Structure 1
Amino acid sequence: GQPSVGNLVALARAARVSVEWLATGSEPAQGAHAVTRAVEHGDFIFMPRNSIRFSSGRDGILRSEQVVDSIAFRADWVKRALHTESRDLILIEVIGDSMAPTVEDSDLILANLAEPRFRQDGIYLLRQDGGLAVKRIQRRPDGKLLVRSDNPKYEAMVVSNVKIIGRVIWIGGCV
């Protein structure tokens, strides 16, 4: 039979192996690609929740690429609601308050890495000053981009271009 999602995660923790290894028998590749890998198993996509934490401010840095655990999303929901494929997603925990109240400290975001360009106003995962940041980007009438935080304590920046990693398509947090 097929184990439930909860049982699969519990088994992986107890055995100190990845959910991917339990589901597929292989480990994720090492390095940067391990961060973006999701595992599809049955009706679910297991997104690795990496211990990658970065600030929603300007000083975000990658601290570790170690997978802490996985969060299961229904595969049909990802395709229907998010209009993307699991291979294009990265799940990241955000720290800091620069995007509050939209993205709070310790919220999780799913970013679509297949959208590395500004397409429309929205929230994006950016490479900024050697680190990563989550910011709202809006196009101004003069064609330049306004990069801003939702928290009014932080100043907005007007730029002609920005290094976009992906568009944020889902935010999950505690209530």
Structure 2
Amino acid sequence: MRERSAFAIIRFMKTKGSRILAVRQKLQLTQTAFADMLGGVTRGAVGNWERDQGIKEENLELISERTGVSYEWLATGRGDMDPSQNVAPIPRPSSLVRIPDLNLFGSLGGGGLLEVISGVDNGMPTDPDQLRGYWTFPEYMVSAFRNGRGVYAWEVRGDSMEPTLAGGSVVFVDTEQNQLPPDDIYALDAGDGLVVKRLRLVPRTPHIDVISDNNERYPTDRLLRDEVRVYGRIIGWFQWRK
């Protein structure tokens, strides 16, 4: 019986998931190591792909870019995994970190609704319905925050934090920094849903001031510390200038 090469066998794999598995096995990487090599991808996502679940075009483009494997082969099975039969990671000029942009909204006034972040794997939500996309940064920009682990982005609405934050801004929240002090801007729930406010401890008391920077329209609320749930500190934001 005529022996077929490994690449001849790989060429005829029927599903995208089986072809992704073949690439990982060719590189002799675990799912975790493969996810790390791709950057900003979870081990759980790789496992789902290999079961032929949740594979998007951008995932195939990323695998092709990072490994040198033919995109056409990954997407359709046509052609060879790699014309040179030399599958190896392409060196990257710099590492990139992806910050999940959550599909929820925080209010700068009152009444924002919080959806619980569930199904987190390696710091990334695994439920696609919770995501609007990702923000991508060079690793050096987020290295002070554990390379982005536990940092999430979401949109804020309202005018109570103007001029610091305008409605429509996207805030980046470090959920690992959810203990007070220091006095700063936080994502929190004081009984009216998810909001973004400035918090200030009242010394030698059990109280905390919840402050709107637009204090001409929104007075400061003084609450018991136990009445305020802090989700994380605002470590940055993005907004367009008009």
Considering the TM-score relative to the shorter chain, is it more than 0.5?
yes
Kindly indicate whether the alpha-carbon contact (under 8 Å) linking 1:124 and 1:135 is maintained by their aligned counterparts in 2.
yes
Deviations 1:27-85 (A, max 9, x none): xxxxxxxxxxxxxx9611122223311211120014795422221111111014xx433
RMSD over aligned Cα atoms: 2.9
Q: Distance in 2 between matches of 1:137 and 1:18?
A: 43
Identity %: 25
Which 5+ residue runs of structure 1 have no aligned equivalent? Answer: 1-15, 25-40
Aligned twin of 2:124: none
- Residue 124, structure 1, aligned to residue 190, structure 2: no
Aligned twin of 1:159: 223
Q: Distance in 1 between matches of 2:182 and 2:137?
A: 26
Kindly indicate whether the alpha-carbon contact (under 8 Å) linking 2:183 and 2:200 is maintained by their aligned counterparts in 1.
yes
Aligned twin of 1:61: 113
**1:116 CA drift (Å):** 1.4
Give the number of the structure whose residues are more often helix, by fraction.
Answer: 2
Residue pairs, 1:92-171, within 5 angstroms:
92-129=154-191, 131-143=193-205, 144-152=207-215, 153-161=217-225, 162-171=228-237
Bigger radius of gyration: 2
Aligned twin of 2:5: none
Q: Distance in 1 between matches of 2:57 and 2:229?
A: 32
Q: TM-score, normalised by structure 2?
A: 0.53
Residue pairs, 1:34-45, within 5 angstroms:
43-45=95-97
Which residue identity does 1:100 align to in structure 2?
E
Change (3 A) 1:63 1:111: closer
Q: Distance in 2 between matches of 1:101 and 1:75?
A: 29
Change (3 A) 1:49 1:55: same
Q: Distance in 1 between matches of 2:59 and 2:161?
A: 32
Change (3 A) 1:22 1:130: farther
Aligned twin of 2:142: 78
Out of 148-157 and 49-58, give the one that drifted further.
49-58
**1:126 CA drift (Å):** 0.3
Q: TM-score, normalised by structure 1?
A: 0.71
- Residue 17, structure 1, aligned to residue 56, structure 2: yes
Aligned twin of 2:120: none
Which 5+ residue runs of structure 2 have no aligned equivalent? Answer: 1-54, 64-91, 117-128
Out of 91-100 and 59-68, give the one that drifted further.
59-68
Which residue identity does 2:131 align to in structure 1?
V
> What is the total number of aligned residue pairs between the two structures?
144
Change (3 A) 1:58 1:19: farther
Which residue identity does 1:158 align to in structure 2?
R
**1:107 CA drift (Å):** 0.6
Kindly indicate whether the alpha-carbon contact (under 8 Å) linking 1:58 and 1:128 is maintained by their aligned counterparts in 2.
no
Kindly indicate whether the alpha-carbon contact (under 8 Å) linking 1:97 and 1:151 is maintained by their aligned counterparts in 2.
yes
